[in-house]
Amino acid sequence: MSTVVTFDEFGGPEKLRVDDEHVADPGPGQVRVANRVVGVNPADLKRLSGAFGGKVPAVLGFEAAGVVDAVGPDVADLAPGDDVLWNGTGAQRALSVVSVEQVRRRPASVPAELAAVLPVAAATAFSALVQADVSEGDVVLLHGASGGVGTAAVQIAQALGARVVGTASEPNHDYLRDLGATPVAYGSGLVDAVRALPDGLGEVDVVIDLVGTDETIAATLDLLHGRTTSDDGAPRAVTITGGETSSAAGITDKTDARGALDEVLALAEAGRLRVPVQTFPLAEAADALRLVAGGHVRGKVVLTVD
């Protein structure tokens, strides 16, 4: 038997329970992974609340890193003992059977704690920045830059040649400076504070909204002077939260970029991407979700599996 965190009805973190399950052998095109680290994301809260629909009982989790435990009869490129990361659904368990297409080898230079947060946070950041056509010399403003997606976005934007301004609360400003971003406090006076930045940083070319409030939408329009697309029609304002208000403002919803996971994995292997994590044991998944729900996580929250 293997440990799993599951829920039988929609609601909040209190609905999660720890249970045992039998895990089948992998079939054709599948591998069984012994998960070591599982990423926790705001999307887990939405899935748990019922916002994504679906049936219960169900298991949360969209990303993990671990070790191949067994392979299907036709799998030749992976073997038991291989270090891997994967993305999909139902990762909050000790053993997962997943399609080989969802799996990537984990390079030895990439710690499991980092690998486990690449498929969602880092790939999301990469997709948004590529969609906004960020390039050398651009000034990119990130709303909510100190969280998991924001942390990755700061570094990926710099890898693309951009300079980064990031909004965050005051206690996170030194953290953003350490990542190479210029911090600005969110809230009243944000637009004026950005425009007052030296060395041309006040002239924002691209905005990536990781928050999606009325305030960030208004600031985005103001800082881009109402132009949310470039002359050739490329979006210059992209949001990962979506909604009627942002759509009405002309802000584009993020779509997934082809090859995003491979791109961010390459950055991590090259030492150009790091994401600090806060860890909880798998059995404390409910407490981990409560921390994420508070909205003030620096970097990412992960679950560790013994």
Type of residue at 238: V
Residue with tokens 């679950």: 303
Question: Considering all CA atoms of the chain, what is the largest pairwise distance in Å, rounded to the nearest integer?
Answer: 62
For residue range 55-101, what is the model confidence (pLDDT) as tens digits?
A: 999 999 999 999 999 999 999 999 999 999 999 999 999 999 999 99
**Same domain, yes or no, for 59 and 96?**
yes
Residue 299, classed as helix, strand or coil, is strand
> Containing H/E element for 280?
strand 277-281
Q: In the structure, what pLDDT confidence band is assigned to residue 149 with cuts at 50, 70 and 90?
A: very high
d(CA 135, CA 303) in angstroms, rounded, equals 35
Average pLDDT, the chain: 96
Position 258 in a domain: no
**Same domain, yes or no, for 129 and 242?**
yes
The pLDDT score that the predictor gives to residue 98 is 97
Domain of 107, CATH number, reads: 3.90.180.10
Beta-bridge mates of residue 168: 185
Position 266 in a domain: no
d(CA 136, CA 122) in angstroms, rounded, equals 20
CA atoms within 13 A on the CB side of 187: 4
d(CA 265, CA 32) in angstroms, rounded, equals 21
Torsion angles phi and psi, residue 102, rounded to 5: -85, -5
Inter-residue contact 36 to 305 (CB < 8 Å): yes
| pLDDT at residue 243 is higher than 90 | no
d(CA 122, CA 84) in angstroms, rounded, equals 16
**Same domain, yes or no, for 146 and 108?**
no
**Same domain, yes or no, for 132 and 176?**
yes
Position 263 in a domain: no
Position 262 in a domain: no
Enter the pTM of the model: 0.94
Q: What is the DSSP string of 189-257?
A: THHHHHHT-TTTTTS--EEEESS--HHHHHHHHHHTTT--B-TTS-BSEEESS--HHHHHTTPEEP-PP
Position 268 in a domain: no
Could you list the residue range(s) of the whole structural domain that residue 203 is in?
A: 121-253
**Same domain, yes or no, for 56 and 21?**
yes
Residue with tokens 């990130």: 142
Residue range 143-148: mean pLDDT, rounded: 95
Position 154 in a domain: yes
Position 283 in a domain: yes
The pLDDT score that the predictor gives to residue 187 is 85
**Same domain, yes or no, for 111 and 125?**
no
Domain of 163, CATH number, reads: 3.40.50.720
**Same domain, yes or no, for 139 and 37?**
no
For residue range 9-25, what is the model confidence (pLDDT) as tens digits?
A: 999 999 999 999 999 99
SS (H, E, C) 77-100: CCCCCCEEEEECCCCCECEEEEEH
DSSP strands (E only) in 100-157: 103-105, 139-143
**Same domain, yes or no, for 45 and 99?**
yes
**Same domain, yes or no, for 60 and 103?**
yes
**Same domain, yes or no, for 188 and 76?**
no
Inter-residue contact 154 to 180 (CB < 8 Å): yes
Inter-residue contact 206 to 134 (CB < 8 Å): yes
Position 19 in a domain: yes
Q: How many domains does the chain have?
A: 2
**Same domain, yes or no, for 165 and 244?**
yes
**Same domain, yes or no, for 106 and 56?**
yes
Residue with tokens 């299907």: 72
Torsion angles phi and psi, residue 224, rounded to 5: -95, 5
